């Protein structure tokens, strides 16, 4: 189980729970770029991604008292993002213009998310699997496959070569294939495969 990365973050989360707006702004400034990039990658539309980002931080503020300061806020934020994307794909199934947009710009992604996306149980199992990776490999997987950084961006951030990033991803892929045995639910296998391929 992952815990909060630093004592400073834990203190920030405690203050956020108590309604400290400065703590909220600190979290916003820290994670908005990663979240915005990930939402845009999934939604393929700047306006929808911006709207989803606003909704995400509104939900964070509204549900601040439910936050566990012992758990990393990044994972919590990305779970909210996943749910918001799922909600928009559900809306697209009822809205003609939204459906046309997704069919024109992201047919493969639309079909995948509509059928398989991110149920809570599968997310929990996936995060448990990621926790089993060596620390550096876990960090690479999170940066490249959860946060949406390119291999080049991750390499620059971690101070390693692109080849090293690629090697970590390949080894993580091999580990996941062994970790999720044939008895694992199909939805989770698809989810893991999608994440490792960058969706």
Tokens of 24: 């909220």
Give percent of the chain above pLDDT 70: 68
pTM of the model: 0.50
pLDDT band at 30 (very low <50, low <70, confident <90, very high): very high
Q: How far apart are CA 116 and CA 123, in angstroms?
A: 12
Q: Exposure string (b/e) for 103-134, b if CB count within 10 Å is 16 or more?
A: eeebeebbebbeebbbeeebbebbeebbeebe
Where in the chain do CATH 1.10.10.10 domains reside? 119-199
CATH 1.10.1740.10 placement within the chain: 1-117
Assigned token pair, 162: 């692109």
Pick the CATH number of 1-117 from 1.10.3720.10, 3.40.50.300, 1.10.357.10, 1.10.1740.10: 1.10.1740.10
Which sign, positive or negative, has the C-alpha torsion 44, 46, 48, 51? positive
Q: Can you read off the two tokens belonging to residue 26? A: 């600190």
Q: At what angle do helices 186-196 and 107-116 cross, to 10 degrees?
A: 150
pLDDT, averaged across the chain? 76
Cα 82 to Cα 39, 59, 61, 113, 123: the distances in Å are 9, 13, 17, 10, 10
* Residue 99 binned pLDDT confidence (cut-offs 50, 70, 90): low
**Which fold, 119-199?**
Arc Repressor Mutant, subunit A (1.10.10)
């Amino acid at each position: 189980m992952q815990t909060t990365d630093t004592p400073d973050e834990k203190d920030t989360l405690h203050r956020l729970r108590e309604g400290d707006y400065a703590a909220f702004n600190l979290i916003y400034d820290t994670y908005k770029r990663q979240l915005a990039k990930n939402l845009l990658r999934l939604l393929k539309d700047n306006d929808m991604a911006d709207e989803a980002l606003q909704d995400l931080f509104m939900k964070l503020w509204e549900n601040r008292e439910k936050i566990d300061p012992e758990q990393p806020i990044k994972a919590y934020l990305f779970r909210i993002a996943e749910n918001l994307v799922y909600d928009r794909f559900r809306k697209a199934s009822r809205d003609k213009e939204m459906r046309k947009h997704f069919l024109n710009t992201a047919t493969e992604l639309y079909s995948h998310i509509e059928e398989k996306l991110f149920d809570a149980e599968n997310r929990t199992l996936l995060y448990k699997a990621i926790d089993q990776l060596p620390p550096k490999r876990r960090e690479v997987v999170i940066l490249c496959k959860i946060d949406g950084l390119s291999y080049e961006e991750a390499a620059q951030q971690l101070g390693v070569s692109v080849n090293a990033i690629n090697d970590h991803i390949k080894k993580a892929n091999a580990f996941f294939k062994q970790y999720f045995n044939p008895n694992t639910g199909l939805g989770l296998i698809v989810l893991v495969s999608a994440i490792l391929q960058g969706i």
